[in-house]
Structure 1
Amino acid sequence: MQTDPEMHEWRIEPREYVRQEARRGRRHAYASLDPARTALIVIDMVPFFVEANPYVRGIVPNIGRIAEALRTAGGLVAWVLPANEAPLGRVSGEFYGPVVSQTFAATGGEGPPRSRVWHAFDVRPDDLVVEKTAYSAFFPGRCVLPELLAERAIDTVVITGALTNVCCESSARDAATAGLRVLMVADANAARRDRDHNATLHTIYRSFGDVRPTNEVLDLIG
């Protein structure tokens, strides 16, 4: 039985803010963004994950707010879905065991991709909807998203979705390695526990991108 939506108690350690302020003279890496060159990346917001996790249900409104604001400002929204294959490819069965591997291979659901996004979202015709065959949406050869963003001269990606410490973190790391400006939204990503969520926020903020809450992202867009 589903429980009510919940929100993570997210935080960045004060000492990490101090470290970054000493390095670059400011708290946040990216003080501005160009909406026309920015894409909201919404990862794995499909029934398999949303129905099972109250933290994932809790971020739905914030993702919707960012999507609407970015579209209005001329930016792009990209919905990334799990493809119907296990994310570790040929070693998935050995690594997870056959039953779990088959379960993971079915997380994306059935039907046309646009119909598989969680029903509460407004998926517009101009939005991108793509599948990934790995945890990361930016790993070469495992998702068409990087090429589609490059065609649109996107230089900044706003990472949201589930799970914070698996597909979202993997995507953020690879996007940063590819030279994109990465912004992870602290209250628009969800994991299974606060400590898992916050460990990823710390890692991303320290080494791969910026971390901000929804209201600050909306300010940057607006």
Structure 2
Amino acid sequence: MRNRQREAWAARSNSRSCCPGGGCPGVSVASGSLRSPSSLALVPHSAAVGTNQPAQPTAQTPPDSLEISLIRARSQDPTFHYRRRPPPAMPPPAPTYTRYETRRRDPDPRKAALLVIDVQGHFASLAAPIMPAIASTVALCRSAGMPVVHTRHVDRDDVPRSRPLREWWPGDRIDAGTPAAELLPGAGRAEGDLVVEKSTYSAFAGTGLEEALRRAGAEEVVVCGVMTNLCCETTARDAFVRGFRVFFSADATATASRDLHEATLANMAYGFAYIVDCMRFEAALGKVAK
């Protein structure tokens, strides 16, 4: 009798569950332990609720390039740390940025400098699809007589990383003297180009870049490189605040996803920068040459 009562009670409990089979898909009913969500098929909510038929799993959505995985801290701290998986290369850019434009202007090569942001070994996979556009942009600016400045992010033992960077990118260092810290051969560096080492998102923070640009007579900057939504966007915003007119490349910048890239272009066009690409840039410099 008691066994039959326990079986009936278990059956009623399972029938109240929102998920077929008696329990949420992330929890093992037998042991109560957590199962990895990545091993589970996605079940439509409409199929899981209000029916006695087993739901048909749909194809699992591939994880986003910046999907966050949880790892427990090795210390006694009970909180969780977040670590991002290395992002793959962004798909080749499409000329969609014009829909974001609120105003248009051509750069003046007599007053402008090109900033090539962090085209270095650490970001080689992100930069790979845009290397032809970066090479074209550098060549166009150089032929127009514009100063070309390269930046690279470097972590040095004698300079502690800032707390925010340690929190966002734990263990993700770019050590000086390693291939990750070196500029990529296709970045177009030439003898005489200024190379600026930085340790945070903005190329202006504690680097002397503003003073170097002022000495060169630059009033405008053109920003290209990686990552669109981090170092490129932060450098562009910082340049704007410091009084430079900013031009932002749509096809010579890249980041971890199309959504992040497009979001930055929309923000830049709304209130910080004029958006350009290689074709528009070539046309603008051609006008000045004539």
SS at match of 2:252: strand
CA distance in 2, matches of 1:58, 1:7: 6
CA distance in 1, matches of 2:161, 2:232: 19
Hey, which of these two has a bigger chunk of helix by percent?
1
The RMSD of aligned alpha carbons is: 2.6
The answer to whether structure 1 residue 188 and structure 2 residue 252 are counterparts is yes
Instruction: Give % identity.
Output: 28
Partner of 2:111: 37
CA distance in 2, matches of 1:185, 1:170: 14
CA distance in 2, matches of 1:93, 1:43: 18
Q: Between Structure 1 and Structure 2, whose CA radius of gyration is higher?
A: 2
Map 1:140-219 → 2, pairs under 5 A:
141=206, 143-219=207-283
From 154, 159, 163, the counterpart of 1:91: 163
Name the amino acid aligned to 2:161.
G
CA distance in 2, matches of 1:72, 1:83: 29
Partner of 1:110: 178
Q: Answer with 125-134 or 184-193: which moved more.
A: 125-134
Distance 1:133-1:218 versus aligned 2 partners, 3 A rule = same
Distance 1:91-1:179 versus aligned 2 partners, 3 A rule = same
SS at match of 1:79: strand
Map 1:72-83 → 2, pairs under 5 A:
72-83=143-154
Partner of 1:23: none
SS at match of 1:159: strand
Name the amino acid aligned to 1:213.
D
How far did 1:73 drift? 1.4
Partner of 2:141: 70
Distance 1:168-1:64 versus aligned 2 partners, 3 A rule = same
TM-score by length of 2: 0.61
The answer to whether structure 1 residue 135 and structure 2 residue 201 are counterparts is yes
How far did 1:109 drift? 5.2
CA distance in 1, matches of 2:154, 2:216: 23
Distance 1:215-1:46 versus aligned 2 partners, 3 A rule = same
Distance 1:70-1:12 versus aligned 2 partners, 3 A rule = closer
CA distance in 2, matches of 1:93, 1:117: 21
Name the amino acid aligned to 1:123.
R
The question of whether the paired residues in 2 share the 8 Å contact of 1:88 and 1:134 is answered with: no
The answer to whether structure 1 residue 47 and structure 2 residue 132 are counterparts is no
Structure 1: unaligned runs, 5 residues or longer: 21-26
Count residues with an aligned counterpart. 197
How far did 1:214 drift? 1.3
Distance 1:177-1:4 versus aligned 2 partners, 3 A rule = closer
CA distance in 1, matches of 2:231, 2:97: 20
